[in-house]
Structure 1
């Protein structure tokens, strides 16, 4: 179990990606289950590389620059505490994730006069959750799920004159429901469904939104991680994973809704998991994006190590 924010907040002069960076494909297999190792403290170490081929407009076409490619590396540390004794046959828990953007390469074909980026500390994601006890069948667990209320705190580095920032400069509320269903003793289907609400950015980019704009509030969105997994051996499993994001309300500029800025993306790709033991698990996932609107489109690679402390 992890809850994760990765990457950078992107603002493009004359066109902005308004939503903050959220969990798109960072959590996959057995996502509804208890963290490996059980009760107590666990840690996850993540590496993610995102290579954006283009940044898209409202119709999915590349924005009007000679190039709009990105290459972003992020390293993240997550701490999880799994407690016990929650309500309604559940156990309570806590998680915190702090990312650091270690590489942020941008190419606009214009010597980065339009697109530029910076590295540094990203926004902090913290949450409390209820991990429900599994529903058991004749051959083991059949269904297990979790509810978590997450807050994204704007502690990351942000410069309103920089196009791609580690931080977003506004608070977000990003709760989710994660679940895992055992179709058989070796085959699982998992998903994580998020809702996203964003507060106002009181220092918006003048290059993007114009001089004299006091605040910008990104629209509400839903996003989903999904996967299916087959256990080839007790230690090695592999499957298919994907994600989907859809912004369903307009961004507001100084309180007025602005149409044509809603974001969307879909991705799918292979993944694998290897369990060295009950206390140490490594997961790798690769995603190929398509159907992007008003945001980057590219490929995402995520590797995660989960360790029981």
Structure 2
């Protein structure tokens, strides 16, 4: 379960590079439909049947582009800033499937994006790429919780192949998701969301981004039953080459690792908030920057 911001912004970096040098970023524009690092504590813990509203906020900025061998390929005056407010509706149905609770999730992002490079600049604000996800959640005792889902990313965000800034990716993508949470109000809390993306062709450019493996993670300690303190971030690796007009583009696969402090507060009234700051490192063929995430979950 995901939504298409964050790395969408990072992907625009490739267009900036193209203004003054050979593109040195992976996937089309170096981006992804999935916002790496978006999830945090309780990502695999499905609540009881009912409707839930989730709100995500992200502020991402980057001033550096990294090439295939780790070299700095940043063009003059490069700046990338993305801010997003994302609404997500989750319906946990009373229907049982394979012993678990069936769910549906709809994610709608609103994105503000600003890109500067080589004397050009552009700002866009609007609807990003929407995500629809059916899934099943299981509970294995009070501590271990698991969700299996399938994400469908729709190209609803604005896109123009000649623009410097594009909110949407202009292609469909889909893939399986597995999330697990270990929850202990008096001890260790650990979460992982593992996903794989099958990217489809962008018909405006004839380009197909390679498939991507990613994992969001968090690890913390419950200082009190309400507060969890720890770290979180993501890992991503592009597993197949891009294709340009169906010809393989080799030697430019994206990968990255991010880590930073993470926190969760859970109210006795059923809502909770998570927040984290993550620093990207070990980047290849993409933008390297920082992101602040906040997520709030409310029962309806």
**Corresponding residue for residue 43 of structure 1:** 53
Paired with 2:55 and 2:63, the residues of 1 have a C-alpha distance of: 26
1:8-23 correspondence runs (5 A):
8=8, 9-10=11-12, 11-12=14-15, 13=18, 14-15=22-23, 16-23=28-35
For the 8 Å contact 1:135–1:142, the answer to whether it is kept is yes
Paired with 1:267 and 1:74, the residues of 2 have a C-alpha distance of: 19
1:177-192 correspondence runs (5 A):
177-182=178-183, 185-192=186-193
For the 8 Å contact 1:17–1:294, the answer to whether it is kept is no
- 2:286 aligned with 1:295: yes
Paired with 1:182 and 1:273, the residues of 2 have a C-alpha distance of: 12
Greater mean deviation of Cα atoms: 52-61 or 144-153: 52-61
- 2:253 aligned with 1:245: no
Q: Structure 1 172/191 Cα, relative in aligned 2: closer, same or farther at 3 Å?
A: same
Q: Could you tell me how far 1:162 is from its partner in structure 2?
A: 1.2
For the 8 Å contact 1:269–1:285, the answer to whether it is kept is yes
Q: Which of 81, 91, 96 is matched with 1:81 structurally?
A: 91
Greater mean deviation of Cα atoms: 250-259 or 182-191: 182-191
Paired with 1:161 and 1:173, the residues of 2 have a C-alpha distance of: 26
**Corresponding residue for residue 3 of structure 1:** 2
1:144-223 correspondence runs (5 A):
144-182=145-183, 185-204=186-205, 215-223=206-214
Q: Which of 120, 123, 127 is matched with 1:121 structurally?
A: 127
For the 8 Å contact 1:84–1:90, the answer to whether it is kept is no
**Corresponding residue for residue 61 of structure 1:** 71
**Corresponding residue for residue 106 of structure 1:** 115
**Corresponding residue for residue 285 of structure 1:** 276
Q: Could you tell me how far 1:186 is from its partner in structure 2?
A: 2.1
For the 8 Å contact 1:187–1:231, the answer to whether it is kept is yes
Supply the RMSD in Å over aligned alpha carbons.
1.8
Q: Could you tell me how far 1:223 is from its partner in structure 2?
A: 0.4
Q: Could you tell me how far 1:91 is from its partner in structure 2?
A: 0.4
1:20-39 correspondence runs (5 A):
20-35=32-47, 38-39=48-49
Q: Structure 1 300/158 Cα, relative in aligned 2: closer, same or farther at 3 Å?
A: same
In structure 2, list runs of 5 or more residues that go unmatched: none
Q: Could you tell me how far 1:21 is from its partner in structure 2?
A: 3.1
For the 8 Å contact 1:221–1:248, the answer to whether it is kept is yes
In structure 1, list runs of 5 or more residues that go unmatched: 205-214
Q: Could you tell me how far 1:183 is from its partner in structure 2?
A: 7.2
TM-superposition CA deviations, 1:183-241 (whole Å, max 9, x none): 7842121101000101100112xxxxxxxxxx111001100011112111121111111
